[in-house]
Amino acid sequence: MLKYFFLVWILVGLMIAGIYGIPGAKDSRPPLRLFPDMDDQDKVSAQTPGGSRLPVAGTVPNTGDDGVFSVEFGAGRTGYYYTGLTDGYFGTGMPEELELTEENVAQFLARGEERYGIYCAICHGESGDGQGTVAMLGVNGVRNLHETGEAGFDAENYPDGRLFEVITNGKGQMGAYGMNIPVNDRWAIVAYVRALQEAREISNNEEETN
């Protein structure tokens, strides 16, 4: 009985050596690969000619907290400028980080108008009345940014910081734009939406007095 046991062990050993070769022995033939694991493939390897190319012009680094990307877009930052919050409440007013002066405020608003046209008008409409292309195509519930009153959205009592936060993180059906619009531009949009609301109010008042 024991004799067969050893015989089987020797046979199994020979079989393994037969398939995989003797450990340490050199062989000029390519190894037998039962599972190739994508070892052989057509690709350009790093650090080989043609492998170390510079990024395409205009590439934005996404390199963690110290990279330009996260700072500019405010990821993981605190404070009013980055969150719209002061002491846990939505604040109102333009943050001082924007360094707004009488000279540059018109340019800032123009930037807001341009960015609003790119990112918001498609849904909320050029004038902010919620009648953009998307709404006209039949999507319900796009907010009229001039709406006031108890029910729903109240433009008059809506803090700037909350507007900033909605652009950053979205709300309900509206998606988040924090990863697409840098912090500075978000504030420019906030300022422009305020200008739109102001303009609407003035024209409403004129209608009433006429």
146 binds ligand HEC (CB under 6 A): no
In angstroms, give the least distance from the CB of 197 to ligand HEC: 10
142 binds ligand HEC (CB under 6 A): yes
# residues contacting ligand HEC (CB under 6 A): 21
Give the separation between CA 197 and CA 122, rounded to whole angstroms: 18
DSSP 151: S
153 binds ligand HEC (CB under 6 A): yes
Q: Which is nearer to ligand HEC, 31 or 172 (CB)?
A: 172
On the CB side of 28, CA atoms within 13 Å amount to 0
82 binds ligand HEC (CB under 6 A): no
- Residues 171-210: x/- map of binding to ligand HEC (CB under 6 A)? xxxx--x-----------x---x-----------------
Residue 40's Cβ-count burial label (10 Å; 0-12, 13-18, 19+) is: exposed
Cα R_g (the chain), whole angstroms: 32
Q: Which is nearer to ligand HEC, 58 or 172 (CB)?
A: 172
In 3D, which of 61, 93, 66 has the Cα closest to residue 164? 93
SS3 91: coil
Q: Give the interface segment with ligand HEC, choosing from 19-27, 73-81, 105-113, 163-171 (CB under 6 A).
A: 163-171
- Residue with tokens 């190739």, as numbered in its chain: 36
Give the separation between CA 120 and CA 179, rounded to whole angstroms: 15
Site residues (vs ligand HEC, CB under 6 A): 119-120, 122-124, 134, 141-143, 145, 153, 163, 166-167, 171-174, 177, 189, 193
